[in-house]
Structure 1
């Protein structure tokens, strides 16, 4: 397997003062990072805005398991040490999704297509053989194919690489792909180059081996019901609301 290059975030990394660096190096051995130590999965995928499906974001997920039915993921714009935390994603089982009320379901997306198609891939360490990656990846993605995600973006980084120095605007909902022809070829090519992989090869590897249930009723409403739910800032009124 080619060694995945480390992608630098689009924006300049800035400078860390010697004082800040000293505080970090001294404080790290003394502090507890238990929630982060529970991260056990790493995946790279691509999200889209359900109200603007041509806005698409390469997303690196680092996930921990709360229990058999729930995961929570920190989502970054790269796999670099300078990566920006751009979103969070909560992942639940089909059982928990089906128990949600109808109003809540509109915020959730299925994972079936991206798992089967090769769009979602594990982030492997350098020099791990492809056969080993595939052996671990297939069962993990088979399980994920029957889950549902709610992704809230906090820092927009998809504006032609011209992202802001700080997170701006209200949180926004992101979604997943559900069919061929939705992902922009240039975004997919960029992701594959960053990861040193071929999505098409991944897809062929998964044929007959990764197969999710049909998405449950109520998921992917931006496609199934034409409801592109999004969160909007109402400006001077100081109100944030979700609307179609």
Structure 2
């Protein structure tokens, strides 16, 4: 009998959502990465996601993301809020897309995607990257090195690198701009809550190994 048949994988059995998006480093916004998310629901207010650098069988587990409702986000203290990003722009812009199985018709994907996006667009994420990327957005190091880092989401047009978005679309076989048009009038989020996206709204481009908001890197 195969060894895996004797083992329990219960926490992984709860994964029910698969998404692809892009993240950036809040302290170095030109450093960006394509991220494949596989998420399970803890309850109506909380999701947790394993984040990989690709959708292949040898993908590297590069980060984890925790996703919470707006109600739960607004209950956080002000210091904790600085670690969290909104999902409104990702959902409306076409940047966040479902990972569909090969040969699934686009119409079927769109029908499932729209209500799922509406459910996500008023949520907030905290993404902690463990495997850093190089200047090309790849996890090229042999092992995950350095301290964990916070990743942020995009909040407006003109922020994402065109070459990286084109690479993602080619990998997924989609067109982000087409996705955006499909969602107009169907996916609409609330204005991001106060305290989220601080790298953008307040210019606080810190990283978790810094002292203070924009402080000196710890030695």
The TM-score bracket by the shorter chain reads over 0.9
Q: How many residues align?
A: 213
Q: What is the CA distance between 1:243 and its match in structure 2?
A: 4.5
The structure number with the bigger radius of gyration is: 1
**1:101 and 1:77 mapped to 2: Cα distance?**
31
Which blocks of at least 5 consecutive residues in structure 1 are unaligned? 1-24, 234-240
- Is the contact made by 2:132 and 2:139 (CA closer than 8 Å) also made in structure 1? no
Normalising by structure 2, what TM-score?
0.94
Alpha-carbon distance in structure 2 between the residues aligned to 1:162 and 1:92:
27
The CA RMSD measured in Å over matched residues stands at 1.3
Contact kept in structure 2, 1:57 and 1:158, CA below 8 Å: no
Aligned pairs for 1:1-244 (under 5 A) are 26-160=2-136, 161=138, 163-232=140-209, 243-244=213-214
| Rounded Cα–Cα distance in structure 1 between residues aligned with 2:15 and 2:139 | 30
Query: Is 1:48–1:54's contact at 8 Å kept on the other side of the alignment?
Result: yes
The DSSP-based 3-state class of the residue aligned with 2:143 is coil
Deviations 1:142-200 (A, max 9, x none): 11100000000000123334721000000000000000000010010000000000000
Residues 243 and 202 (structure 1 numbering): CA distance in 2 closer, same or farther, change over 3 Å?
same
Q: Is the partner of 1:205 in helix, strand or coil?
A: helix
Report the 3-state secondary structure (helix = DSSP H, G, I; strand = E; otherwise coil) of the residue aligned with 1:201. Answer: helix
| Structure 2: distance between partners of 1:134 and 1:163 | 33
Deviation at 1:207, TM superposition (A): 0.2
Do the aligned residues in 1 keep the contact of 2:60 with 2:139 (CA within 8 Å)? no
Cα deviation for residue 71 of structure 1 reads 0.1
- Aligned partners of 1:92 and 1:147 also within 8 Å: yes
Return the TM-score normalized by structure 1: 0.85
Query: Runs of 4+ in structure 1 displaced over 4 angstroms?
Result: none
Secondary structure of 2:38's partner? strand
Q: Distance in 2 between matches of 1:75 and 1:115?
A: 17
